[in-house]
Amino acid sequence: MSDLPLLGAVACGSRYDAISNGGSDDVITLPLVDIDRQLVEKRLLRKLDLRVAFLVLVYIMNIMDRTNVAAARLRGFEEDLGMTGNQFNTLTSILFVGYLLTQTPSNMILHHMKRPSLYLSSCMAVWAAITICMSAVQTYHAALILRFFIGFVEAAFFPGAVFLLSRWYKRNELGLRTTFLFCGTSVSYAFSALIASGILGSLDGVLGFTAWRWLFFVEGALTIAIAVSAIWILPDFPSTPSIWLLPEEQLLAQQRMEEELVTRIEYEGKSKENFSGLIEALMDWRVWWLGIILNLIISATSFTNFFPTLSATMGYSATTSLFLCVPPWILGTATSFIVARHSDVTDDRFWHIVGPLLVGVAGFILAISTMNTTARYVSLYEPPIISPVAYAVSLTWAMNTFSQSQSKRAAAIALINSIASAGSITSSYFWPFSWGPSYVNSYLMCISASVMCIAMCWVFREHLSRCNEAAEAEEKGLGLPEGFRYIL
């Protein structure tokens, strides 16, 4: 930690020449000027939020290229490739095998890079190219291999993007931004259904290709175009010189992160950087506990990969079924922003995870209780509330908990997300075709995962609460000012 004065002092009139960037050898030198922190911080956050909005667009394409097989299924994808039994479920789950393997090493590499924007956009272009190749597959096994490699490359993006956010935003700002990023899931499910319905309805037979082949080709080509733009739009780390930031904004970005580390370092001691952060993350039981919590959330929200299938159980055409997928995800997105913002304002994570899970359970129970078309469609509105906000708030809780070391945070985020991804591998088999159209057993498994998740969240909250009580007692005994506290 730098011994130089905090920027708050500068706002009061202090003057200085330079400040360490918090770990890099680079040093930014500024003219001797007074800085109005509040004005500069507002300007910095506005610029950052605009670039995070583009990060959401990238994530939308990430989800779209991952889940387009669900829409292709409605227009002969399974039949053309000769799939039988649970082969489609295997095709869905194999992506997450590659996804699981790559996340942790990718984040450790990203932590040491100067230009994460170049790394993430390159990965985006590669998975887009593989998606285009999906349009030419002739056999199930060829599709299986390509799906594995799509997951292998896609895995770099989400944990990398979350780590990138944690390098720019403070603890009480992360919940809303993480949810904003993860809401790309909801927006993607909504708009991918619209795009898919347009492609599947209008391009079937054009140039002799079936509609589902055009779906993979068009969406892959669109992703490549966005990947090229991402090279210049995605943010790098605060320590990397940026042409879109003024010198005082770059300085403040670095200083904000230094301020975040001060009380945590005093509370737990400074952690070593580099790859020792991976060892620390592996040895910390809280990483595994939070990973299982997110794994259960993924299992409870496994319906997302089969949403068009569930919509089709109401008996409408493929195009109508895809259109019906849109409103629930739009409502889920709007609700997520409200819940995430309230979570940041109140400094609460537990109830903002448990609340959406309980709403999802109510939707699952409604779906089990009846085959009435209207009631089942209403039940589809409740589970999408789980997917974006419960996962995003849980991941924010993890970032709040592991904030003392950049390398440990990078490893912890990736490890937790990897453990969570394992839920996508197993839960893909929650929805076999033979359990339809009621899918009672599928919904019961989602309810079980939700209840287990709520119990584990409560245990974790009690642990953090005891840690805070112990810190408070020690401070009172030694006459120290109030220091770091875990967010519950």
DSSP codes joined into one string, 290-310: HHHHHHHHHHHTGGGGGHHHH
Looking at residue 296, its amino acid is L
pLDDT of the residue at 62: 86
Global pTM?
Answer: 0.69
Q: What proportions of the chain, in percent to the nearest 5, are helix, strand and coil?
A: 75, 0, 20
Distance CA 115, CA 95 (A): 27
pLDDT of the residue at 372: 80
Nearest 5°: phi and psi at 132?
A: -60, -40
Distance CA 458, CA 241 (A): 43
pLDDT of the residue at 16: 31
pLDDT of the residue at 405: 66
Distance CA 257, CA 21 (A): 9
Looking at residue 165, its amino acid is L
pLDDT of the residue at 276: 65
Beta carbons of 293 and 457 less than 8 angstroms apart? yes
Question: Tens of pLDDT along the chain (488 residues)?
Answer: 333 333 333 333 333 333 333 333 343 444 434 567 888 888 989 998 888 888 888 888 888 888 888 888 878 888 889 888 888 888 888 888 888 888 888 888 888 888 888 999 999 999 999 999 999 999 999 999 999 999 889 888 888 888 888 888 887 787 778 877 877 777 777 777 778 878 888 888 888 888 889 999 999 999 999 999 998 898 888 888 888 888 888 888 888 877 766 545 444 444 444 556 778 888 889 999 999 999 999 888 877 767 767 777 776 766 777 777 777 777 777 787 788 788 888 888 899 999 889 988 888 888 888 788 777 777 777 767 676 778 888 888 887 887 666 777 778 888 888 888 888 777 778 877 778 778 888 889 889 999 999 999 999 999 999 998 888 888 888 888 877 788 88
How far from each other are the two terminal CA atoms of the chain, in whole angstroms? 26
The DSSP symbol for 21 reads -
Q: Sign (positive/negative) of CA torsion 182, 188, 189, 190?
A: positive
Q: Strands 18-20 and 27-29, how do they pair?
A: antiparallel
pLDDT of the residue at 68: 84
